[in-house]
Amino acid sequence: MAVKTPAKTGPKILDAEQEILPYDGNASWDELRENADEVLGHDLAKDALFDALANVPFLITRLVYRKGVKRNNGVQGAFVSCEAVIAPEAILKKRRVNLDVMPFEPESKIVFNDGSTGIYRQILAYLAATGRVALPTELPESGSYGDTRYDLPPSEWAEIRGGEIGYDEDGFLTWECNVRLSCPRGIRLSEYANDFNPNGSKTRYLA
């Protein structure tokens, strides 16, 4: 590799190993994308799109804990963002997933949020079982929302092992880590009526 004469200050200027060709306005979309770098982004699965993941296999790759809503007792809660990738087409067809109505393509990267007694509790129980975190043992494993060890935000965990700890602008302790959690049946929906919502409420679980 040839080295050009450097300036007195600033970076050393080297020949590029591979120059990107100028943009060709006549090239097709596929031609332009053929050797393109791609941003690692995730489509947000929310509400009806979230529900459409029932029976859709996916793999969770990263978890991010953020500030959620305050509970009835005034304690600040959290929610977990789950970054995931949907299974390839062959696996979806094996599960008899209707690709014509599924809102995401096979192998799409998605993200969904949860702070409920469903997925949030499942994820925290998984992290505790795999030794990534330790939770206060004096709290029960089951009970009303906010009363169990699996409802706690990161600041109330007993131990955190690995991952990345941070603080948001309000001083709330955030935490994120890489995982490989396979959900071969996607999510499961539990719908019910309660005193807060007589018309029906919904809790989502990993399946």
> Per-residue pLDDT tens for 32-46?
888 888 888 899 999
Is 42 exposed, middle or buried (CB count within 10 Å of its CB: 0-12, 13-18, 19+)?
middle
Is residue 3 domain-resident?
A: no
Task: Provide the percentage of residues in the chain whose pLDDT is more than 90.
Answer: 70
Task: Write down the H helix ranges in the chain.
Answer: 29-33, 48-51, 89-94, 119-129
Q: Which residues contact 201 (CB under 8 A, 6 or more apart)?
A: 191, 192, 193, 194
**C-alpha dihedral sign at 123, 124, 129, 130:** positive
Is residue 157 domain-resident?
A: yes
pLDDT-derived band at 200 (thresholds 50, 70, 90) equals low
Judged against a pLDDT cut of 80, whether residue 197 lies above it is answered with no
Is residue 2 domain-resident?
A: no
pLDDT tens string 132-186: 999 999 999 999 988 999 999 999 999 999 999 999 999 999 999 999 999 999 9
Domain tally for the chain? Answer: 1
Is residue 8 domain-resident?
A: no
Is residue 101 domain-resident?
A: yes
Is residue 51 domain-resident?
A: yes
Judged against a pLDDT cut of 80, whether residue 5 lies above it is answered with no
Full residue range of the structural domain in which residue 89 is found: 42-206
Average pLDDT over residues 58-62: 97
Is residue 103 domain-resident?
A: yes
Is residue 5 domain-resident?
A: no
